[in-house]
Structure 1
């Protein structure tokens, strides 16, 4: 009995020395935690972990830190970020939240790896969106065209953009109308091809311009945060056009086609190309 009691007291002394040694041990640096654990010198974790309790409380309440929400929106695209919504990784619930916030789940094409070129010129597709507005107490219909603001200076533009290899020129023009102006409709006439010079490295471009009879105006579209739409009469649009080649397409192309269709008794919004 005396021998067992003596062994017990020695064990308690050894255990107390081990605890004091563990308390006096310095906090291990990163990468040494595993080795320190096997030596019995791992620094004890702080009691309580208040930051984990705060995180758990926020999860139960369904809230986040405001700064974390803002950083995520600005880095990955979100309401107020000025960036389009990323297509990948967005589930149904997130897409519904985007729509409730007034954002669009369409994504504008970027990059020029599929861009078409011909004779050293970049090929562009665009359109002149138009609609008919009834005038009270008159049987005539007023024709209005849709223009959008420019991101690089004063003046207004018609929707246009690069024609890519995986689409026809008509598909490219309709796509640009949706991405830049947020309108859908029927391409009723190819008005012509117009050459112009750009400040981009490719220099010269050739644009195929169509007349687009607008049937639907979207409440949200990919470039909504940077584009404003304006419905104007043809003379107003010609005066406020930013580029001379767009003014030429409006006056010599669209207006001439419109007058020929009215004077010839034909349907202005017919299906001829």
Structure 2
């Protein structure tokens, strides 16, 4: 599998950079919905798989690719975002960059045993409420809760 490298796009001063993320999910017996989070590489906090736009990829396809590379999951991704949230991305030089992330639901159909970032991250299934509590961004937590409440 080829890993596509995407670089932060140039943005106008004061404007957040665009990123695309996946919210991997599944339904357990009894109808219980779970979502998967992964740890960030540097701080090991719980996040959703996300990354920069990719040339020749629609936003939802870029989100699905990030889910495969960061969490080792594949499935059916929705083409319409659940919403968006903002956070400050920590860059290699120690400074931060504001980002606005569009979040796409991805129903997991396959969990790989090996994936590109397996040695750099931990993946874990959470209840909707536990996932919302585990992430640091309030707007992401709200999106996860709203996803869990939808029919």
- TM-score, with normalisation over the residues of structure 2? 0.84
Q: Deviations over 1:106-150 (max 9, x none)?
A: 3433351xx44554321100011000111xxxxx31111111112
After superposition, where does 1:6-85 map in structure 2 within 5 Å?
Answer: none
In the alignment, the residues of structure 1 paired with residue 109 and residue 10 of structure 2 have an alpha-carbon distance, to the nearest angstrom, of 31
- Pairwise mapping of residues 174-193 of structure 1 onto structure 2 (< 5 A)? 174-188=64-78, 189-193=80-84
- The question of 1:218 aligning with 2:108 is answered no
3-state SS of paired residue (1:239): helix
Three-state SS of the structure 1 residue aligned to 2:130 is helix
After superposition, residues 197-216 of structure 1 pair within 5 angstroms as 197-200=88-91, 203-216=97-110
Question: C-alpha displacement at 1:236, in angstroms?
Answer: 1.0
2:128 alignment counterpart = 234
User: Paired residues, what number?
Assistant: 145
Contact 2:61 2:77 in 1 (8 A): no
**Where do 4+ consecutive residues of structure 1 move more than 6 Å?**
none
Give the corresponding residue for 2:28. 133
Any idea what SS the aligned residue of 2:90 has?
Answer: coil
Q: 2: distance between equivalents of 1:146 and 1:108?
A: 21
Match of 1:196 in 2: 87
Secondary structure at the counterpart of residue 66 of structure 2: helix
Q: Structure 1 residues 182, 199: CA separation in 2 closer, same or farther (over 3 Å shift)?
A: same
CA contact (8 A) 2:6 2:52 kept: no
**Runs of 5+ unmatched residues, structure 1:** 1-105, 135-139, 262-273
**Closer, same or farther: CA 208–190 of 1 in aligned 2, 3 Å:** same
Q: RMSD of the TM alignment (CA)?
A: 2.0
SS of residue paired to 2:75: strand
Q: Measure the CA separation in 2 of the matches of 1:226 and 1:242.
A: 20
- What aligned pairs does 1:106-117 form with structure 2 within 5 A after superposition? 106-110=1-5, 112=7, 115-117=8-10
Q: Which has the higher strand share?
A: 2
Aligned to 1:30: none
Task: Pick one of 124, 128, 131 that aligns with 2:19.
Answer: 124
Say whether residues 1:150 and 2:43 are aligned partners: no
TM-score norm. by structure 1 comes to 0.49
| Counterpart for residue 255 of structure 1 | 148
> Is 2:138 the counterpart of 1:244?
yes
